[in-house]
Amino acid sequence: MYVINNQMVSITKVLVMEHAIYNDVFDQIERLLSTPKSTAEVKTLASFVEGLLNTHGETETNMAYSALDQALADRGALNRLYQDHHEIDDHLKRVHQTEDPVEARRLLKIALAVTREHFRREEKTVFPLLENTLQSETLTALGSKWTESHALPR
């Protein structure tokens, strides 16, 4: 169970913490991209970002968004976030399609910027919506479910 200051943590807090960690990773990737890199190196970094975002996106969709979808009849509030996911995926896919290292770096930087904006949008709109729509016990149960699925082997 994920506990901070002797309190179990809600799924929204877990996701905000993941966002913070990913933003730190993105900072490191951007530092690496500040010097010339081969197309293969940029593609490797893009694959790394894709792996992180796929796992994170599955958590959001399967735990947080699905709970919100169940609580709300209208998914309209989430449409923009799904569009963000497609835009991020598109930029990352285009990194793999180019052979130009400058273009690959540019596309990866755009993908990181769009992802950061997506995180801000979630934290500003969706997470408060989750917290206002779902009971705190549900949010904490989802946070516990995330913790169990990410537990380190003993």
Question: How many folded domains does the chain comprise?
Answer: 1
Confidence (pTM): 0.84
Residue 108 has pLDDT above 60, yes or no: yes
Using one digit for the tens of pLDDT, what is the confidence trace for 111-131?
999 999 999 988 998 888 888
Q: How much is the average pLDDT of 1-30?
A: 83
**Does a structural domain hold residue 47?**
yes
User: Which range of residues forms the domain containing residue 68?
Assistant: 3-149
Confidence band of 147 (pLDDT split at 50, 70, 90): confident
pLDDT at 11: 87
Find all residues with CB under 8 Å of 121, minimum gap 6, and list them.
Answer: 80, 81, 84
Residue type, 59: T
pLDDT at 91: 97
**Does a structural domain hold residue 154?**
no
**Does a structural domain hold residue 50?**
yes
79: its two tokens? 């449409």
pLDDT at 2: 47
